[in-house]
Structure 1
Amino acid sequence: MLTASSEFVQLCRTQLSLTASLGASLSVVYLAEAWVDEEQKKLIPIAAYPETSLDDLKSPGLMRLPQTLTPTLPGVFTEPETTAPILLPSLEINHCVETEENEDQPLEAETDWQPESQTVLPLIQEEVVLGFLVTGRQDRPWNPQEYHQLQQIAHTLALACILDQRSQWFQQQFRQQQHLQLQQADALDNIFHQIKSPLTAVRTFGKLLLKRLLPEDKNYPIANSIVRESDRIQELLQQADQTLDQTEPLLNLPLTVDSVLVSTPPPEEVTFPTSVLTLLPAWEQLEPINLYEVLEPLILSTQAIAEERQLQCQVDLPSKLPAISGNRKALREVLSNVLDNALKYTPPGGKLNIRVRLQKPNQKRPSQPTQVGIGISDNGHGIPVEDLTHVFERHYRGVQERSEIPGTGLGLAIAKALIEQMHGEIQVFSPVDPAWVSKDMISVSDLCKGTTFIIWLQGVTADQQLNRFF
């Protein structure tokens, strides 16, 4: 059993004062320190009323529990089938005076505490003996009403003891969890710090390679992609550092239930750090952007990876693409996540199709901007029907969780959040949607599998395009 807290000791004293109002000369609360082994039975007095020194309870003549504890109260606190003895005091509980005649007959004063003047009430909660309430008076025995009140006090003490023990257990768990979080934060700090050195080296090698290549060289876009993706990783690391800095105050919570936590009400409003999703990257800055400028480098990277993995990647873009309203970095993050999934879940020999289609506004509402859809399709195994409604949930991988393909289940959740923050929409279809693939890419047999993701964004109206230059 854990050590009793100061709050529990104070509650015991308050409850013991109630026994004094009933005429008790002295009342003591004992807690059981060890009840596992019959050879080790130890009761610790934690509160007394009047507030005499607990050490004085060892003196002769003061009320205390006997040294020998034997189970002399059968039936009430034990099951009939139980063979192991339950450790209870050898004192018998005082019998209440049943008749008014006995109530009116005062007992002769006793000079010393005698066993028959004591009442021992076990503190039992959830079939566990937690300790004992020992109380008594010398002038008269307890009547039934008084004895019932003593039982209520014992019940209150037992319940408070259980709550106190659980509170301390939760505090211990909280300390362990806090320590673990601090260790995790330190580990992440170390990892991020160690990533920065090789990342700087990769960026440097990419820049050196760019200087040695001519723009018309076929390897020039690959070198340029190395530098661009290195810059992207550097931005993500900076955002991760900011997130850890904002999370750190949450780890510095009080470790104990002190007077502040017990007596001070919680603040009306608690402010938590901004969600990690809104830190990837500055999504709130929406502006007209050239979709082709975002797509071109991503398509080059995807085609290079597809060639390495023995995949075919076809691209179908309109000759003229309208400007869209969005955030360049956020859109690049969304497209990267969706393209990465298509590459990852398409087996060798498979095919990918990237297509952009325009959806003109309704004739009844010509002022509405054109909707631009970016479709990314593959002829992989597809997504089971039961997983389709969950693919955008954080950490959800569905059937893929049992596969050997690594993943965290965060990519599509991040993509959906960023698209919605840009006032767009993302859709998923499995099997593949035939309207979003080239006829020569996917055969009839492929139409029953595969996946299509469609990212819808708002085109920029003439007024928005005009305001861009003012």
Structure 2
Amino acid sequence: MNKDDENIKISDEFLQLCHSQLNLLFTQFFAQESVIYLTDSQAEEPKLIPILVYPNSSSHHFPSLPPLQENPWEDSFSDALDEKKNSEPLINYYPNSHAPHQLILPLIYQNIVLGLLATTRKNSPWQPTEILQIKEITNTIAIARILEQKQQITVEKLSQLQKFRQLESDHLDDFLHQLRNPLTAIRTFAKLLLKRLFVDDPNYSTSQSIYRESDRIKELIADFSEQWQGKNEEEIFTLDTLHTSFFLTENIENLEVVNIINVIKPMLENIRIIAEEKNIQVLEKINIDTEFILTNKKALREIINNLLDNAVKYTPNNGKVRIEIEQNKGDKIIVKIADTGYGIPLEDQTHIFERHYRGSQINGNISGTGLGLAIVKELADKINIKIKLISPFQWLENQVDNGTEFILEIPINTD
């Protein structure tokens, strides 16, 4: 057999194992000639292909064997492969042959016939104890073959995955490249509007928000590119070295002193503009002794942005959203974000922070990916922010819908 046969793939390691097993037949059982056949899984009909003859060949040499139909053992193969007999050895005796005592054993693993081992000798019949020992040889070969097939499947899947990931990477590169052009245009338009509008113009704050959010998008793109596109292809990635959130390229656990009011105020300005489209009123209540917390600014911003976005998104028209900032008796700042929205059913609350989980909303008319709260939880865990959920949460008189409140406990800077 040609080692490069497209229909049956075998490795040097498997051939070496087969060679060692046939050598045992030769040295311990005085076999005159032994052949290993493997089944061709690609053939329309069951077909056996010889891969190794011993002692006429080695793992590094493949003899020119006659076609299977010309092989003198052909009449025995169909019986050896018969499902009713495939666990039993087949013994033939040919008195006029130069090797009259023939033994054929199937290579079986979990009722799957992987091939045959055929062996002959001249001087003595095969004894039951010998056959039992030779069965162990066939078991060894069968197990090695099934492991090799599994490895081949794994390698093939890995190769396909690598091709897919490369295609995915190329698409992402194209997307990021093309995204920068309209983003630059948006930022330029926002700058022009700010130059042409007076500060007391109602559209001035809207233009500021457009420019601020375009900066946020630019920052996300830059962080993503830095983390993924800047990596060497040969660099080894592990679960420990990869950040869960791609837009935090620095060590997220490295906290800094941050003024929480300076973080939240711009986000409130943005969310009010968005809420106006649904006539939703955004309320705020701040009652703290200190404005300084110990956190990761980027992570905190993404956490609060997602919670505010969700509050407006799942609150019907003419509703209300409230953000409260207060200080507990200990060393925490408490941020509460409440809404008069539809609420989160109890059966969904244990899964609400899972990626792509939307629960009862999956059949609703509000689109989403089920990622916002998962990102919130992942980031909160990394920067030591505790997050709680209360729903239903009735905080207004005559509130129609159930409402929801998220509570964040953020460490205060104690220095």
Identify which of 95, 105, 116 aligns with 1:132. Answer: 116
Q: Letter of the aligned partner of 1:46 in structure 2?
A: I
Cα displacement (A) at 1:134: 1.0
Q: Letter of the aligned partner of 1:330 in structure 2?
A: A
Q: Secondary structure at the match of 1:315?
A: strand
Cα displacement (A) at 1:445: 4.3
Gaps of 5+ in 2: 1-6
Residues 315 and 355 in structure 1, CA contact (< 8 A), matched pair in contact too: yes
Residues 40 and 49 in structure 2, CA contact (< 8 A), matched pair in contact too: yes
Distance across 1 between alignment mates of 2:172 and 2:238? 26
1:310 and 2:295 aligned: no
Alpha-carbon RMSD across the aligned residues, in angstroms, is: 3.2
Q: Which residue number in structure 1 is paired with residue 40 of structure 2?
A: 33
Identify which of 324, 327, 340 aligns with 1:379. Answer: 340
Cα displacement (A) at 1:123: 1.6
1:443 and 2:397 aligned: yes
Q: Which residue number in structure 2 is paired with residue 50 of structure 1?
A: 55
Residues 243 and 249 in structure 2, CA contact (< 8 A), matched pair in contact too: no
In the superposition, the TM-score normalised over structure 2's length comes to: 0.86
Q: Which residue number in structure 1 is paired with residue 196 of structure 2?
A: 212
Distance across 2 between alignment mates of 1:121 and 1:380? 72
Identify which of 90, 93, 98 aligns with 2:91. Answer: 93
Distance across 2 between alignment mates of 1:408 and 1:192? 20
Q: In the superposition, relative to structure 1, how do residues 400 and 415 fare at CA in structure 2: closer, same or farther (>3 Å)?
A: same
Identify which of 405, 421, 424 aligns with 2:366. Answer: 405
Residues 247 and 273 in structure 1, CA contact (< 8 A), matched pair in contact too: no
What are the superposed Cα offsets for residues 265-318 of structure 1, whole Å, 9 maximum, x if unpaired? xxxx96853313275265445333332222221111111111112322222233
Q: Which residue number in structure 2 is paired with residue 438 of structure 1?
A: none
Q: In the superposition, relative to structure 1, how do residues 281 and 272 fare at CA in structure 2: closer, same or farther (>3 Å)?
A: closer
Cα displacement (A) at 1:229: 0.9
Q: In the superposition, relative to structure 1, how do residues 191 and 78 fare at CA in structure 2: closer, same or farther (>3 Å)?
A: same
- Same amino acid, percent of matched pairs: 38
What are the superposed Cα offsets for residues 187-246 of structure 1, whole Å, 9 maximum, x if unpaired? 111111111111111111111111112223222221111111111111111121123236
Residues 224 and 246 in structure 2, CA contact (< 8 A), matched pair in contact too: no
1:117 and 2:101 aligned: yes
What are the superposed Cα offsets for residues 391-448 of structure 1, whole Å, 9 maximum, x if unpaired? 22333322223334232322223223333443332211101164xxxxxxx22444x7
Distance across 2 between alignment mates of 1:275 and 1:405? 30
Q: Secondary structure at the match of 1:185?
A: helix
Residues 23 and 137 in structure 1, CA contact (< 8 A), matched pair in contact too: yes
Q: Which residue number in structure 1 is paired with residue 266 of structure 2?
A: 297
Residues 281 and 320 in structure 2, CA contact (< 8 A), matched pair in contact too: yes
Q: In the superposition, relative to structure 1, how do residues 32 and 319 fare at CA in structure 2: closer, same or farther (>3 Å)?
A: closer
Following superposition of structure 1 onto structure 2, how do residues 68-467 of structure 1 map, counting pairs within 5 Å?
68=75, 71-72=78-79, 77-78=83-84, 92-94=90-92, 112-114=97-99, 116-245=100-229, 249=233, 273-277=241-245, 279-280=247-248, 282=250, 283-318=252-287, 322-361=291-330, 369=331, 371-432=332-393, 434=395, 442-446=396-400, 449-461=402-414, 464=415
Distance across 1 between alignment mates of 2:41 and 2:325? 74
Distance across 1 between alignment mates of 2:254 and 2:140? 60
Q: In the superposition, relative to structure 1, how do residues 66 and 319 fare at CA in structure 2: closer, same or farther (>3 Å)?
A: closer
Distance across 1 between alignment mates of 2:71 and 2:62? 10
Q: In the superposition, relative to structure 1, how do residues 222 and 320 fare at CA in structure 2: closer, same or farther (>3 Å)?
A: farther
Distance across 2 between alignment mates of 1:32 and 1:327? 61
Q: Letter of the aligned partner of 1:443 in structure 2?
A: E
Q: In the superposition, relative to structure 1, how do residues 194 and 384 fare at CA in structure 2: closer, same or farther (>3 Å)?
A: same
Cα displacement (A) at 1:133: 0.8
In the superposition, the TM-score normalised over structure 1's length comes to: 0.76
Q: Which has the larger radius of gyration?
A: 1
Distance across 2 between alignment mates of 1:319 and 1:154? 78
Residues 317 and 356 in structure 1, CA contact (< 8 A), matched pair in contact too: yes
What are the superposed Cα offsets for residues 23-70 of structure 1, whole Å, 9 maximum, x if unpaired? 111111111226965xx55422111221436435439xxx95534566
Distance across 2 between alignment mates of 1:227 and 1:294? 16
